[in-house]
């Protein structure tokens, strides 16, 4: 038995501290700070995420009871809720956003060679956004509806491992299509999007960066057919066409040819029409690529169920963004640990085990790999299978 560090201290040892200190220094996060450093703030909020704390008072009470066990994690003395609230309000959220991107780069390297459902050498991304409802009276900066507040979590998910590579938090009133202006497109990569992202001028910019997109077409799209390929209708394909846009504005926004693929989904008895600028992949592969977009929906559902991003410890924009970025950091950190320790269980099981063993003095690898049976609910069919290969 390990009589030294707790599981929580070992978990925090996986953090690249030189990179964290660079992020803090970049934004002078610890300038004039004597006791409650940015690292302590991160550790406290990571504890709150893993153990599902409901409020600042809840965090204060639990940490007070565990004060003697927090020393090796970098937490010195009592953590008062007022101190934590002030840090969330004033410490620049960009510190934790930059650090989350460091962890994301590490995770992407670890999961780069994981098996993928489609044997493609190119990187496959899914782009989407999810809305988190807020009270407009408490969060006046989070504009959404006339009498309702909210924020949008815009995410670009690398489907090779389900790692979020780009995250932007905006008020709910910001339309998803505007996020395309903030992306740096990778040549040769595929971007899978729903039809809410249809803007042919922006899609043409993506095309000019030599990247590929697969997107659902709108029913009122004006076009003319130039050429048709033969398709195997037994696979669900109905047509594979080369088209040109004929709308007055759309033809000027996207003057090049497009590929239009119509597919019948027998499982849900629905017809889907896809647009892409890739003319080399088989039509069925394009349809299967769009089906993989569902992974980002599972990602949003998973983080809303298992991380604290729907109830917030502060009401300011800075506090909300700080909490979300630290939640993303915890998600990616657990994914890194799963890969490095070769833990066979799902991400859900790992988080559940950590939540009840954080302050045991045992080897973290032993705790995660030698637990007594898989920790899953009785109805496992309703659980998401992120990071379960």
Structure confidence by residue, pLDDT tens digits, 114-167: 766 667 778 899 999 999 999 999 999 999 988 899 999 999 999 888 889 999
pLDDT band at 371 (very low <50, low <70, confident <90, very high): low
State the angle between helix axes of 81-90 and 56-65 in degrees (0 to 180), rounded to the nearest 10: 130
What is the per-residue pLDDT for 389? 34
At 193 the three-state DSSP class reads strand
Q: Confirm if 329 and 16 have CB atoms less than 8 A apart.
A: no
Q: Greater confidence, 6 or 245? A: 245
Q: Confirm if 293 and 194 have CB atoms less than 8 A apart.
A: yes
Tell me how far apart the alpha carbons of residues 22 and 1 are, in angstroms, rounded to a whole number.
35
Q: Is the pLDDT of residue 265 over 90?
A: no
What is the per-residue pLDDT for 143? 93
pLDDT band at 252 (very low <50, low <70, confident <90, very high): very high
Q: Is the pLDDT of residue 386 over 50?
A: no
Q: Is the pLDDT of residue 281 over 80?
A: yes
Q: Is the pLDDT of residue 278 over 80?
A: yes
What is the per-residue pLDDT for 116? 66
Least confident stretch, 28-32, 196-200, 262-266, 380-384: 380-384
Degrees to nearest 5, angle at CA 271 with 268 and 274: 120
pLDDT band at 381 (very low <50, low <70, confident <90, very high): very low
What is the per-residue pLDDT for 17? 93
Q: How many CA atoms lie within 13 A of 245 on its CB side?
A: 23
Q: Greater confidence, 152 or 32? A: 152
Q: Is the pLDDT of residue 272 over 70?
A: yes
What is the per-residue pLDDT for 161? 80
Tell me how far apart the alpha carbons of residues 50 and 330 are, in angstroms, rounded to a whole number.
8
Phi-psi domain of 373 (left: phi exceeds 0; alpha: psi -120 through 50; beta: other): left
Q: Is the pLDDT of residue 263 over 70?
A: yes
Query: Residue 36 CB: number of other CB atoms within 10 A?
Result: 20
Q: Is the pLDDT of residue 376 over 70?
A: no
pLDDT band at 303 (very low <50, low <70, confident <90, very high): confident
Nearest to 175 by CA among 128, 236, 238, 220: 128
Q: Is the pLDDT of residue 383 over 60?
A: no
Contacts of 12 (CB under 8 A, 6+ apart): 43, 46, 73, 74
Q: Is the pLDDT of residue 1 over 70?
A: no
Q: Is the pLDDT of residue 112 over 90?
A: no
Contacts of 219 (CB under 8 A, 6+ apart): 273
What is the per-residue pLDDT for 18? 95
Tell me how far apart the alpha carbons of residues 292 and 304 are, in angstroms, rounded to a whole number.
20
What is the per-residue pLDDT for 117? 61
Tell me how far apart the alpha carbons of residues 167 and 380 are, in angstroms, rounded to a whole number.
29
Average pLDDT over residues 37-57: 91
Which token pair is 45? Answer: 């909020």
Annotate 49-80 with b (16+ C-beta within 10 A) or e (fewer).
bbbebeebeebbeebeebeebbeebbbeeebe
What rounded mean pLDDT belongs to the chain?
88
């Amino acid at each position: 038995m390990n009589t030294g560090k707790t599981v929580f201290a070992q978990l925090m040892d996986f953090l690249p501290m030189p990179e964290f200190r660079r992020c803090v220094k970049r934004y002078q996060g610890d300038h004039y700070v004597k006791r409650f450093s940015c690292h302590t703030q991160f550790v406290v909020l990571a504890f709150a995420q893993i153990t599902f704390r409901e409020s600042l008072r809840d965090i204060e009470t639990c940490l007070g009871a565990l004060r003697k066990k927090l020393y090796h994690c970098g937490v010195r003395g009592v953590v008062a809720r007022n101190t934590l609230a002030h840090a969330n309000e004033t410490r620049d959220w960009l510190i934790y956003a930059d650090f989350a991107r460091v962890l994301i780069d590490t995770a992407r390297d670890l999961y780069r060679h994981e098996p993928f459902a489609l044997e493609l050498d190119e990187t496959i991304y899914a782009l989407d956004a999810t809305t988190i409802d807020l009270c407009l009276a408490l969060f006046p900066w989070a504009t959404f509806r006339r009498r309702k507040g909210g924020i949008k979590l815009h995410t670009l998910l690398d489907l090779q491992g389900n790692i979020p590579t780009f995250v932007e938090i905006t008020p709910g009133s910001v339309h998803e299509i505007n996020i395309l202006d903030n992306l740096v497109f990778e040549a040769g990569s595929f971007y899978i999007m729903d039809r809410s992202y249809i803007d042919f001028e922006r899609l043409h910019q993506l095309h000019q960066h030599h990247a590929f997109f697969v997107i659902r077409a709108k029913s009122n799209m004006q076009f003319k057919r130039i050429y048709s390929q033969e398709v195997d209708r037994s696979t669900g394909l109905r047509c594979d066409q080369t088209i040109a846009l004929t709308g007055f504005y759309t033809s000027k926004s996207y003057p090049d040819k497009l590929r239009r693929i119509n597919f019948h989904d027998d499982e849900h008895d629905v017809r889907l029409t896809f647009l892409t600028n890739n003319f080399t992949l088989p039509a069925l592969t394009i349809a299967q690529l769009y089906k993989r977009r569902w992974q980002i929906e599972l990602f949003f559902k998973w983080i809303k169920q298992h991380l604290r991003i729907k109830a917030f410890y502060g009401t300011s924009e800075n506090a909300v963004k700080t909490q979300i970025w630290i939640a993303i950091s915890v998600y990616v950190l657990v994914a890194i640990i799963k890969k490095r320790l070769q833990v066979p269980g799902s991400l859900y099981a790992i988080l559940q085990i950590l939540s009840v063993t954080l302050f045991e003095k045992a080897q973290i690898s032993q705790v995660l790999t030698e637990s007594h049976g898989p920790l899953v609910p009785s109805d496992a069919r309703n659980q998401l299978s992120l990071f379960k290969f």
